[in-house]
Amino acid sequence: MKLYKRHIFDKIQPYIGDDTILVLLGARQVGKTHILRYIEQYLKKRNRNTLFYDLEYPELLALLNLGTEAFVTDLENRGHRKGEEIFVFIDEIQYLENPSSFLKIMADHHKHIRLIVSGSSTFDIKTKFTDSLAGRTLQFEVFPLSFAEFLTFKESAYTNTDNLSPAGLQQMKLLYAEYITFGGYPKIVLEPDGTKKKQHLLQLIDTYIRKDIRDLADVTDIAKFNGLLKILSSQSAQLLNISALSRETGISQPTVSKYLSILEETFVIKRVTPFSRSPKVEISKNPKVFFLDSGLQTLLWLSDFPTTMLGNVFETNVFGELIKRYGRQNINYWRTKSGLEVDFVVHRNSTLTALEVKSNFQAFSDRTITSFCRKHSITDWQVVGLEGKKTSRHALYPWEIS
Residue 387 CB-density burial (10 A; 0-12 exposed, 13-18 middle, 19+ buried)? middle
On the question of pLDDT at 380 being above 60, the answer is yes
| Residue 330 CA: distances (Å) to CA of 253, 307, 320 | 27, 32, 12
CA distance 170 to 182: 19
On the question of pLDDT at 284 being above 70, the answer is no
pLDDT digits (tens, 9 = 90+) for 255-281: 999 899 888 888 899 999 999 776 554
What pLDDT, on the 0 to 100 scale, is given for residue 157?
84
What pLDDT, on the 0 to 100 scale, is given for residue 285?
74
Residue 396 CB-density burial (10 A; 0-12 exposed, 13-18 middle, 19+ buried)? middle
On the question of pLDDT at 362 being above 90, the answer is yes
Residue 47 CB-density burial (10 A; 0-12 exposed, 13-18 middle, 19+ buried)? exposed
Nearest to 103 by CA among 63, 53, 52, 68: 68
**Residues with Cβ < 8 Å from 182, sequence gap 6 or more?**
188, 189, 194, 197, 201, 295, 305
On the question of pLDDT at 60 being above 90, the answer is yes
Q: Can you tell me the mean pLDDT for 351-371?
A: 94
Task: Name the strands in the sheet holding 21-26, side by side, starting at the edge strand that comes first in the sequence.
Answer: 50-54, 86-91, 113-119, 21-26, 137-142
Strands 341-348 and 331-335, by their bridges, are antiparallel
On the question of pLDDT at 211 being above 80, the answer is no
Query: What does pLDDT average to over the chain?
Result: 90
Considering only CA atoms, give the Rg of the chain: 23
> Which of 13-27, 156-170, 275-289, 291-305 shows the lowest mean pLDDT across its residues?
275-289
Confidence of residue 122 (pLDDT cuts 50, 70, 90): low
On the question of pLDDT at 204 being above 60, the answer is yes
What pLDDT, on the 0 to 100 scale, is given for residue 282?
52
Contact 39, 9 (CB under 8 A): yes
**Domains of the chain listed by start with CATH number:** 9-142 (3.40.50.300), 148-327 (1.10.10.10)
On the question of pLDDT at 131 being above 70, the answer is no
On the question of pLDDT at 3 being above 90, the answer is yes
Contact 206, 251 (CB under 8 A): no
Contact 52, 89 (CB under 8 A): yes
Q: Can you tell me the mean pLDDT for 83-108?
A: 92
Strand locations in 128-218, DSSP E?
Answer: 137-142
What pLDDT, on the 0 to 100 scale, is given for residue 343?
96
Q: Can you tell me the mean pLDDT for 341-364?
A: 94
CA distance 380 to 355: 9
Q: Can you tell me the mean pLDDT for 245-258?
A: 94
Amino acid (1-letter code) at residue 62? A
What pLDDT, on the 0 to 100 scale, is given for residue 85?
96
Nearest to 242 by CA among 209, 208, 312, 289: 289
| Residue 75 CA: distances (Å) to CA of 84, 90, 218, 282, 394 | 11, 13, 36, 59, 56
Contact 143, 24 (CB under 8 A): no
What pLDDT, on the 0 to 100 scale, is given for residue 221?
82
pLDDT digits (tens, 9 = 90+) for 132-188: 677 788 999 999 999 999 999 999 887 777 788 889 999 999 999 999 999 999 999
Nearest to 385 by CA among 362, 358, 363: 358
What pLDDT, on the 0 to 100 scale, is given for residue 159?
73
Nearest to 113 by CA among 97, 90, 144, 145: 90
On the question of pLDDT at 62 being above 60, the answer is yes
**Residues with Cβ < 8 Å from 377, sequence gap 6 or more?**
none
DSSP 27: -
CB atoms within 10 A of CB 15: 14
DSSP 281: T
On the question of pLDDT at 254 being above 80, the answer is yes
CB atoms within 10 A of CB 55: 21
Q: Can you tell me the mean pLDDT for 287-293?
A: 96
Positive or negative: CA dihedral 271, 266, 127, 260: positive
Q: Can you tell me the mean pLDDT for 357-362?
A: 96
CA distance 41 to 39: 5
Expressed in angstroms, the distance from the first to the final Cα of the chain is 31
On the question of pLDDT at 36 being above 90, the answer is yes
What pLDDT, on the 0 to 100 scale, is given for residue 1?
75
Backbone φ, ψ for residue 62 (5° rounding): -60, -40
What is the reported pTM? 0.91
Q: What percent of the chain has pLDDT over 90?
A: 70
